[in-house]
Amino acid sequence: MKKDNVKRTIEILEKEIDKFSKKDFKVFFFVIDSENNPSGFLTYIYETALTLHNMGYNVNMLHQAENFVGVGEWLGEKYAMLPHLNIEKDNVSISPSDFLFIPEIYSSVMSQTKNLPCKRIAILQNHRYMTKYIPAGTKWSDMGVYDAVVTSETLANRLKVNQPNIKTEIVRPSISEHFKNKKDKKIIINVVGQNEEDINHTVKQFVWQYPTLNWVCIRQIGGESKENFAQDINEGAITVWLDTKTDFGYTPIEAMKAGNIVIGKIPETIPEWLMGEDMLKDNGLWFNNDDESPKLIAAAVRAFINDEVPNEMFDEMEKTYSKYSPEKQKEDIKRVYVDTYFVKREEELKETLKIIKNNAKKSE
């Protein structure tokens, strides 16, 4: 009986290992239903998934939603067309050669899937999400997760402080090609922020303090499809960004790529693209104190209408956004997912097979 079990285990392992050469193993990404609400968080995951799908891997999006709406409307059909499976309702079979990538916020999913035979890896984009629901004292390693994909070195360092036994790999986000620098820009200020109070405070102070500029069109954008959002950013000249809780912040880099002057409140965690060696980069106009923003907005408006934006700022902007091209992201995805995770997993299974075969031989 025991011999039969060993034989069967060897057969299963050989079959699993064989899947690697044919790209037959499954790559699952756990996601929530965006319900048509755009999300940078989900964009990153779907872009990774689509890239791997286009490389020929068997990618599936896993969810728990009753009536899954998906990302088609705001992100695009090509992402919505990726296979989606309900982890509770659909017949999802998971085997040792498979991978399950779980966003940092879903510690519950990490716990629920603890006994699955596949390789489970966390995706960390925002350190606040990591601590949101996880029970105090519980670590990812307690739930069998020892690896994480992170979006920046800043995040990798933060994770090291909090969960030092998690091994990290960096896959940088990419800025969509929808964002383009239109030459005939309009004098429009696009405001992007999470908090209505911050937005009102910034806009109204500017309008009161600069009556000779109160004709300038100011509009709040966000919550629309990526394409429409990009269109708004592309046609405007200035982007005001008010999101202090983020670890990364897509909007300012998208705006830089679109040739906008970016004015932003410095986030609590300074993103790597904003931090120079020992001071902030000159890729935008940055402030800590809300009272500084009206002056910066006025300066940006005057600089735009008079073509007095320093070339050095445009150079810094280009240096910033060029680090986050789709091509660079694809290189990172190949390096991390294909050449590291997939290769390592295959080696692990081969090593396991080798050990089992040796033990089987010895016992004969």
Site for another protein, rule CB under 8 A = 183-188, 212, 215-217, 219, 237, 304-307
Closest approach, Cβ 144 to another protein, in A, equals 55
As measured in angstroms, the least distance from the Cβ of 182 to another protein is 8
Query: Who contacts 39 (Cβ-Cβ below 8 Å, separation ≥6)?
Result: none
Query: Kind and range of the H or E element at 316?
Result: helix 311-321
* Minimum distance, C-beta of residue 250 to another protein, in the bound complex (Å): 26
**In the complex, least distance from residue 260 CB atom to another protein, rounded to whole angstroms:** 13
What token pair was written down for 267?
A: 């986030």
CA distances from 270 to 66, 152, 153, 278, 320 (A): 38, 11, 12, 12, 14
Report the residue number, 61 or 230, with the smaller CB distance to another protein.
Answer: 230
Q: How far is the CB of 309 from another protein (least distance, A)?
A: 12
Cβ atoms 255, 232 nearer than 8 A = no
Nearer to another protein, 183 or 361 (CB): 183
What is the Cα–Cα distance from 309 to 318, expressed in whole angstroms?
14
What are the tokens at 301?
């408006």
We find the least distance from the C-beta atom of residue 216 to another protein, in angstroms, to be: 7
Rounded to the nearest 10 degrees, the angle between the axes of helix 226-235 and helix 250-257 is: 50
Task: Give the bridge partners for 167, in sequence order.
Answer: 147
In the complex with another protein, the residue whose CB is nearer, 241 or 304, is 304
Where on the phi/psi map is residue 30: left (φ > 0), alpha (ψ -120 to 50), or beta? Answer: beta
Beta bridge partners of 219: 190
CB of 186 vs another protein, minimal distance in Å: 6
Q: Residue 312 is encoded by which pair of tokens? A: 């050095």
Closer of 236 and 271 to another protein (Cβ): 236
Where residue 332 falls (left for φ over 0; alpha for ψ -120 to 50; beta otherwise) is alpha
What is the largest distance, in Å, between two alpha-carbon atoms of the chain? 92
CA atoms within 13 A on the CB side of 183: 0
The residue among 129 and 210 lying less far from another protein, judged by its C-beta, is 210
